[in-house]
Amino acid sequence: MMRGTARSQVDWRSLALPAACVLLWVAASATGWWNPNILVPPKQLAAGFIDATRNIDFWLAAGSSVMRLGIGWMIGSLAGVLLGIIAGCSPLAERFVAPSLNSVRQVALFAWIPLLTAWFGDGDTAKVILIAVAAFFPAALNTEIGCREAPAALIEVGRVFEFSYLARVRRIVLPSARPSIAAGLQIALTSAWIGTIGAEYLIDQGDGLGVFLASARMDNRMDVVLVCIVALGLIGYLLSTLLRVSFAKGAPLRGAVLADD
């Protein structure tokens, strides 16, 4: 009972800051403290949400963004996890890979856009590659760290049991690194979602919520801009929650590091 009460109190406290912001927004709109052409009143935003739910183009744009995100995230995460395993399990590979990986990841994500559009044009290919780049680095770095920090005692037990190198990686290193890999994939999803909207907004060709947002800005429709921003936050939160729940359901696998197949 005490634990449930404490948890509910924490949940209510987490709403304090958003509630304060909304109250300040309502007060600023009612008193004219803020230019309504820049920050629209809450009523106008609510009307914009209603219009968006009735607009098929908005839902098609959201669906295109999520699909683009899924493709880019899977490609970038898979490549990142594979490279992270190689670098984390082999000191020699780490010496070859780590300096280049750490250097390239210092390049700002959207700095790749001019190069990618020159190579692949303004279509979906350049966008998906940019999304994959955004997902690649968090997945690779977290996987590498997780593999490198596998408990030395368990690895020694594997040697005592005369496990082969691949068996030690599969049965000891990877299960031990699973929490770090999961964290990397969640960060990769967030980075990929940012990359998705940024690519759509900056390339501004085709469809997607980023293109929808750019069009609303050009038309000076700040209500639609805010609707898009809120929708982006909700979609990102929902996707992150779904991924976290899926990882939580797979958590019991972590306990069987040295268990027989």
DSSP secondary structure letters along 114-168: HHHHHHHTTSHHHHHHHHHHHHHHHHHHHHHHHHHTS-HHHHHHHHHTT--HHHH
Total count of domains within the chain = 1
Specify the pLDDT at position 205.
77
Residue 45 forms part of a structural domain: yes
Domain span at 174:
41-249
Specify the pLDDT at position 53.
79
Residue 3 forms part of a structural domain: no
Residue segments in the chain with a per-residue pLDDT below the cut of 50: 1-9, 252-261
Q: Residue 130 is part of a domain; what is its CATH number?
A: 1.10.3720.10
Residue 102 forms part of a structural domain: yes
Residue 256 forms part of a structural domain: no
pTM over 0.85: no
Specify the pLDDT at position 83.
92
CA distance 196 to 210: 8
Residue 140 forms part of a structural domain: yes
Specify the pLDDT at position 250.
65
Q: What is the pLDDT of residues 174-205, one digit of tens each?
A: 888 888 999 999 999 999 999 999 999 988 77
Specify the pLDDT at position 8.
44
Q: What is the pLDDT of residues 167-176, one digit of tens each?
A: 777 777 888 8
